[in-house]
Amino acid sequence: MPDNENPNCETDLIRRAQAQDTDAFCALAARHARRIYLLALHYCQNAQDAEDLSQEVWLKAYQALGTFRSDSSFYTWLRRITINSFLNYRRTDSTRIHEPIEELEMNSYAGPDDTAYSNALFRNVMEALAEVTPSQRLMFLLRHYEGMSYEQIGNAMGCSPGTAKKSVWRALGKLRAKFEVGDDAAKERMSRLAAEY
């Protein structure tokens, strides 16, 4: 059966969801929910806020589904909604009370060779990212977690590619300072960090 005739292919799910098929929308959401949640968790650094922000993204996506035109992939369109939600969250963030970084759901990141070292490394990365502005953190995540180019980040964030690159480098500077990059052992830790992102 060709992919476009498969009832579970993304194109068909989108078409059905646009026709108010909630099961199709739920199937689309299931394909991307974890990725959106993890991006929100990295950005918010708070599990409850990440859950709330993820739900907001899905609500906005459902409400705007009729505007999706297949000019880009569904995930690219969804990521644009996510970025806008993050920017709106940032504007209201000053009124929120944040729990300590230890409250993050470390189990979400556990892999087959998960160790105390990787948990400590993750905690250190999150602490270092907490020291940059929300905009710098978002640009860092879009570059290193989402794999977007500086031009794509600039377009998504409404700034120049140079500004995006500068923000990412500032975030990297915080990480380098946190991990005291300069000796060979620190460079090895940064290489492992880069591989994890």
* pLDDT tens digits for range 15-74: 999 999 999 999 999 999 999 998 898 888 888 988 999 999 999 999 999 999 888 889
Q: What's the chain look like in SS3?
A: CCHHHCCCCHHHHHHHHHCCCHHHHHHHHHHHHHHHHHHHHHHHCCHHHHHHHHHHHHHHHHHHHHHCCCCCCHHHHHHHHHHHHHHHHHHHHHHCCCCCHHHCCHHHHCCCCCCHHHHHHHHHHHHHHHCCCHHHHHHHHHHHCCCCCHHHHHHHHCCCHHHHHHHHHHHHHHHHHHCCECEHHHHHHHHHHHHHC
Q: Which of 43-52, 99-108, 135-144, 186-195 has the lowest mean pLDDT?
A: 99-108
Global confidence as pTM: 0.67
pLDDT value at 99 more than 80 = no
Residue 29: per-residue pLDDT: 93
What structural domains does the chain harbor?
Answer: 1-104 (1.10.1740.10), 106-197 (1.10.10.10)
pLDDT value at 188 more than 50 = yes
Residue 4: per-residue pLDDT: 45
Residue 179: per-residue pLDDT: 75
Average pLDDT over residues 133-141: 88
